[in-house]
Chain A
């Protein structure tokens, strides 16, 4: 349910709609991304960001103006830009003698910086240098993470999550099999180098239902080196990863399935009164008029006694 919690009311209907669209929602769409230029961006970083922008295209904005700022020292410009463009992901390219060909990738939460990871592009081959057919833009790529370092190193763990966030595009219910055309491969070694490769999938006949897969490199191909990182505290990250109640799947109680796949349910019954159970009627068990009279008298006595007892207590 959207809420406009601000003092000044929107004047126009359109303005109201815009404000409502900016409100937090239980199910969010794909994250938007902004690409910025830092201080003196090199040719390589500019091309690299452009390539990543091409990979991310419908959900990204490429801002070509140079900005004199250092994200690790003052991130206010990024926060401002992300607020303006309604973006949650950002990439900044810069170049200096100390940190040549510097790429900073990161994400925001509630318009504040969540994670920021600095990568140095040591070698780079642009997408345009591979002379072949590319994949369609806007396709959901397969992501492959190679190497044990992704799970061992804390920084790389977060970087893996960041890369997934960057390239997974959107949560989808179903996918066309012919649309599985693109693979992004990330390989990490222990010394902090990360190899980013992008391939096109070729589905070949295998004589079975599942096809044989061949790959063709389409670029970009980048060798990154991990530099500085600025990761969110555990509290903030946990808060950011909260799943709203509306999205959480409800578990049905007392239903289980056994090994054979048949459904089992547990039912709770009320207590049964066996004394009043109607069994077979027999003439011999019927009460005679005398017995009935006695029963009546007995009941009457009991009632009187109860009444007297009540009077005494009063």
Chain B
């Protein structure tokens, strides 16, 4: 027993040597260990705050910090590069963001199409073997145009083309056209993503001569582009309206009609039967307003007829012409006879 007592005494002495790490609080603090935040909702001691502010605040903060760090020291520790590190939990205080939550990227028209068709992007190699030059040529970028120049040191003029055309110039213009088209598509995609309405672009502007179909389309579109949608435009003999893919959409005032696919016999039968059902099951619609006005009108007619049939009582005729007699009939304009010389009495009708 002596040994036990000795050990206990020694422990007590050791404990006395150090100051305590425990703190007494009336209300428990709220902690957010993730942000190293402690919130003390206990009332402040106003007397001490007025008399000895700095000392009081320091002692108060010390107690609260002790409580906070006690919590931190309880967390699981790790050893990273000779430093003891504590893994902090997720912070609970929600702070506002600096910028709004990012929205998902809107798909381009091609990406949408590829998604519906299940087309996936294929990775192309940056370098491709060129048989003619007998070397690896990049697909784009650095050294591509040099290789192209080397390859196209001579371009043959095809037979169906004017022999005096500059094929290099033609190639360059084709390329610039492609770039412009791509840029237009990019802008259209942006407009679509931002839901901006863009005007329809009629016919593609071409540097070359327009083809017969393009000209026909242009005339049809131009004719329909009046206020009356081309209703009163004269027609040439044997004139034909332009047809073809995408032409119909260009003509103003023409709604796009999609042809329904040929229905299967079963589906057709069902649709016809449902149509018959809807007709047979129809109930007469009740127009409440009309019904009510009709009813009121009927009542009024009835009442007026009743009044006509009841003879006016004799005694009451005495007070004719008296302004105070309200039961007397309202004077009416001269019935049937027109006497312009006589002044018509009664209500003035306008």
Q: A interface vs B, CB < 8 Å?
A: 1-3, 5, 7, 23-26, 28, 31, 88, 107-110, 114, 140-148, 150-151, 160-161, 164-165, 168, 171-178, 180, 183, 185, 187, 189, 195, 197, 199, 201, 204-215, 217, 221, 237, 239-244, 249
Contacts and interface: CB of A to CB of B under 8 A. Distances in A.
A168 B36 contact: yes
A205 B74 CA distance: 16
A168 B73 contact: no
A108 B100 CA distance: 11
28 contacts: A28-B97, A28-B99, A31-B98, A142-B37, A142-B68, A146-B64, A148-B43, A164-B35, A165-B96, A168-B37, A171-B35, A171-B91, A174-B85, A174-B86, A174-B88, A175-B85, A175-B88, A177-B72, A177-B86, A183-B65, A197-B54, A197-B61, A206-B18, A206-B21, A210-B74, A213-B62, A214-B62, A240-B100
Contact of B36 (A31, A143, A211): A143
Contacts of B35: 143, 164, 168, 171
Given A28-B99, A145-B40, 15 more contacts: A3-B106, A5-B193, A107-B96, A143-B35, A145-B37, A148-B41, A171-B35, A174-B86, A176-B84, A197-B58, A207-B15, A207-B17, A210-B21, A210-B70, A213-B65
A205 B102 CA distance: 49
Given A164-B37, A217-B54, A144 B100 contact: no
Contact of A244 (B43, B95, B102): B102
A212 B18 contact: yes
Nearest to B70: A210
Contacts of A244: 101-102
B39 A215 contact: no
A6 to B, nearest CB: 8
B203 interface: no
A206 B101 CA distance: 47
A116 B66 CA distance: 32
Contacts, number: 206
A26 B102 contact: yes
Contact of A141 (B36, B57, B84, B190): B36
Q: Is the interface of B mostly helix, strand, loop or mixed?
A: mixed
Contacts of B15: 207
Contact of B60 (A5, A140, A146, A165): A146
Given A142-B69, A168-B37, A242-B101, A195 B53 contact: yes
Given A171-B91, A175-B88, A210-B21, A199 B58 contact: yes
A1 B102 contact: yes
Contacts of A208: 21
Given A145-B38, A177-B77, A241 B97 contact: yes
A214 B65 CA distance: 9
Given A5-B194, A24-B101, A143 B94 contact: no
Given A5-B194, A173-B87, A215-B65, A210 B73 contact: yes
Contacts of A195: 53, 57
B93 interface: yes
Nearest to B16: A207
B60 A209 contact: no
A176 B194 CA distance: 47
B44 A187 contact: yes
Interface centre among A2, A144, A147, A206 (most CB of B within 10 A): A144
